[in-house]
Chain A
């Protein structure tokens, strides 16, 4: 019994049962297969996270985002007064997280590729682009760069999904995809 010392003192010499060998083999093979699927997806899948990131200090990052916004702001959002930035397709686009907003609003074109830069000026935040459902961890002092291709026009919400204090649930940004 499991509560008493093994009756067979040489328990490690007992041969395995067929069913045990079978299940262990299947489980191991399944593990290898799942390992293979991740690599396979890196080679052929369309959704892989880049490893591109840089160390940057928050002020320097803020300057970059503001510079890009100054160049490409096309209008102001009526509701919030936040600038709507429409950078050229294929270019580097910038968004920052700070307590408690995502800044600015980005306007991108459907089917075009962009290099999206993300970083935080203060605490950790969570970039949760909905409803497409892309979720990234945003740190201060690290600038993350992901290449995205918006494939469907519409208005997207940028939810903060890393708890960042009392204003966390107000931290909603916007990303617009136009045809």
Chain B
């Protein structure tokens, strides 16, 4: 039958033209048929795969796979890293368990750090205002500015060899060198003022403490080198009713640290300073500390009213603090009243307290202090994007990633993750001096310069980062102290030559000294520090300061910094 129909249709076609209707019917048949073929589904699948492989999407080339030991250079905590490299590309990152401080832990940011160099916000060109420019133009503009007046150089990661280049340049040029310090580093500034020992050379001897009282510092939440405290707490305190190490978290909200601590003392937001004074009063009143200590002017009753804790609760807290010693108080920031508690408890320079770890460290000048007259400001890539210098000057800002709107006149692309040689001085808060070297493991795919390289190219008399690192390695070797943590732990006097010491450091080993417990430093407060922290809860929203991190580093674990509004108002 079909044959005759087809024959008729063909015969009919001889007489009749192909109509629009025929075309539509044919199209409908073809469309229905097409749906019954693999064409639509396969093309969809292939096109989606093709879109994942566009030529501008970086693809690691195939080649020898190796694992290199190095350090995370994204912030001054300097955690130990193992980097999986395929044909010279970093394709994976893991923590290094041989690092004596970070002990294999990393923050969430670092786990994807090898991908940051390909981030869409990567700064790829020199920018002047809103237009593209060149390195040559930036150099001549900076050279001109530095001839015309003082240059302020701002660093976010002090103590590196690169920092030394920046500082030397500022000194030679007649400008000044400033530091944007991490909250961990800022917390030591009261001790620097009282004892003259630079904040950057102080650390907490957590490993020997038996009670840690944290005033809002997110100790188990990425504070300091993330692995150090989380591992210590897991080993000696977590989940026990009477742990070897007691962690008391004084916090206005149930932060992650508060939730995991031995005890959480809930106080009103912004009342940390008042509670510190009250606690000092309670310690003195109950003769729990030497009687010659300065007495806070704030009474226990006033402190109790501000903190939202009963007087009896504060007295009980004071007894709890000294029940298991050594006791150590950690502040979230540079609050002198909280710092003074450590003086009262005799924690300075003692086992389980605050100890100096390095010598020859200079005090830093905070970038936030008045800058005065400057012709130009040069900002290193380690400075957090949020930092904006309060000065009318030409701003040259180095950054690996573009953090959005900025006041900078010049934006200069800096090396990204592991694209530049750098050394890693002691992380803030550490009780022992450490030193590591992170070579440039990956090649930058764009034209980048660090601030130190930029300055060295302008002034050939400046020592290069590589030279400084070399001489630092030699100095360390000559001291014949401490251990080298590589594949094995070796005492430095077992290392045969300076050359082999350097080689091991360049391969990712880390040198660590001993905590300087013997170097007790004297500190006698004549009077209790004046209250500097606001007690009114209304400032909670404006008081937040970003921690030092590159613009993309929105670290999840720092969410303790995202404070809830106070739940009970005075």
Q: Determine if chain A interacts with chain B.
A: no
